[in-house]
Amino acid sequence: MTGTMATTKMTSPADQWQLVTRRRKSRRPTTRPRPAAASPPPLEASPEVSAAKQTQIVRRVGDIARVLRKSPLVLEALRVIADHFALPASEELQAGDAAIADADVVDDRLELVGYGLGSFCGSSNAVHQLAFLAALREVLTTADRPRCHAEIFDPAMNKVPYQSDVAIAEHLDIALIQTNERGRRRVTRNTVFFMPHCGKALYQNVLACNWGLEARKLIVIGNSFAAYGDRVLVASERQELLLVDVLPYVEETPLSCGVAKSHEHFSSYEAAFNDLSVHSFPSRLLQRALRDDVELTKKMAVAASQELLDDELVLTTASSAEISTANPTEDARQPSPRSEK
């Protein structure tokens, strides 16, 4: 796209890895096994969720993750991540040489950060999104590339009634972020933020705190930034929205919901993964932004220094009452209540 719209890349499975900007010798698949994860901690009953129910949820996450590992949703996200960070092709993507968009960000160390997934014990959407995080980490792990460190935060998980959510995450070897960062995490290595259906202020905080050439180290999987440009019609609101301002400097790749409409549980995948895109910031576009768009750089600096009352950030989790009535192991039939905005 041009003007104020993001560069949007649409690819079909047959087109993957065919457009190459710079080539290197492909690394052939190795026969060595993937690194084994440590034994997960045992699940224990909590006041609101039994150990049996937690085990059921963990199994459900595993079932969904197995579906997603070979799905267009995960494979397209993997393609963009491997392309942008110049990672060697994984077993899932061996067709042709890997495209290298930014050779100066080559670094096999990856971190996965999930914001605002919600309660796994009270939301089918949260279960599906946790499964996506698990599936993405799995396909990013190869014999030559260590397992990604993954951590998550949702405000409910620091509350006593939701400790079963923490237990489920820890059982899957996903760490809990102990404080509400409000998206103000400065990246020090290549980091993928998974932020499904979060508030726009949270996305803006992530960008503002990492604006500059360091932004090449981050990828954001979340609401389509280009969609904000289409939906915000009032000029004064557009001028204040950083997600619109960055559109000329971001490459955005829309994602599918992962399964075909004929799939038995299509509506559940659609609710959990609608309107998601992968957003990356190539060095060439960041250099242009820093050189030519002084006003954007100033706005980012102001946003990074402000202590905002981000009351829209991650207010996404189920209430205690929902915990007792919701069955996240069953597929929801309604659109995501967190879809924005």
Pair 70, 258: CB distance under 8 Å: no
- Residue 29 maps to a domain: no
Grade residue 334 by pLDDT with cuts at 50, 70 and 90: very low
Beta-sheet pairing, 251-254 with 191-195: unpaired
* Tokens 């289409």, located at residue: 230
Residues of the chain with pLDDT > 70, as a percent, come to 66
- Residue 227 maps to a domain: yes
Task: Convert the pLDDT of each residue in 130-180 to its tens digit.
Answer: 999 999 999 998 777 788 899 999 987 756 556 889 899 999 999 999 889
- pLDDT value at position 233? 57
- Rounded Cα distance, 103 and 107, in Å: 9
- Residue 26 maps to a domain: no
- pLDDT value at position 153? 94
- Residue 11 maps to a domain: no
Span 101-129, mean pLDDT? Answer: 81
Q: Can you list the positions of beta strands (E) in 264-319? A: 276-280
Structural domain boundaries, residue 302: 46-176+187-325
Span 295-310, mean pLDDT? Answer: 82
Prediction pTM value: 0.76
Residue 267 has pLDDT above 50, yes or no: yes
- Residue 7 maps to a domain: no
User: Cα torsion at 226, 124, 202, 10 (round to 10°)?
Assistant: -20
- Residue 14 maps to a domain: no
User: CB under 8 Å to 331, separation ≥6 — which residues?
Assistant: 124, 265, 267, 268
Task: Convert the pLDDT of each residue in 56-72 to its tens digit.
Answer: 999 999 999 999 999 99
Buried b or exposed e, range 11-23, using 16+ CB within 10 angstroms: beeeebbeeeeee
**What single DSSP character describes residue 275?**
T
- pLDDT value at position 331? 46
- pLDDT value at position 223? 95
Total domains in the chain come to 1
Q: If we measure between CA atoms, which residue out of 162, 166, 129 comes closest to residue 332?
A: 129
What tokens appear for 121 in the block? 């014990």
Higher pLDDT, residue 26 or 40: 40
- Residue 105 maps to a domain: yes
H-run or E-run covering 288: helix 283-292
CA neighbours closer than 13 Å in the CB half-sphere of residue 197: 20
- pLDDT value at position 183? 94
> Which three-class secondary structure state does DSSP give residue 271?
helix
Task: Convert the pLDDT of each residue in 29-57 to its tens digit.
Answer: 444 444 455 556 555 545 567 888 989 99
Grade residue 252 by pLDDT with cuts at 50, 70 and 90: very high
Pair 257, 196: CB distance under 8 Å: no
- Residue 154 maps to a domain: yes
- pLDDT value at position 107? 55
- Rounded Cα distance, 255 and 114, in Å: 17
Instruction: Point out the least confidently predicted range of 79-88, 210-219, 233-242, 270-279.
Output: 233-242
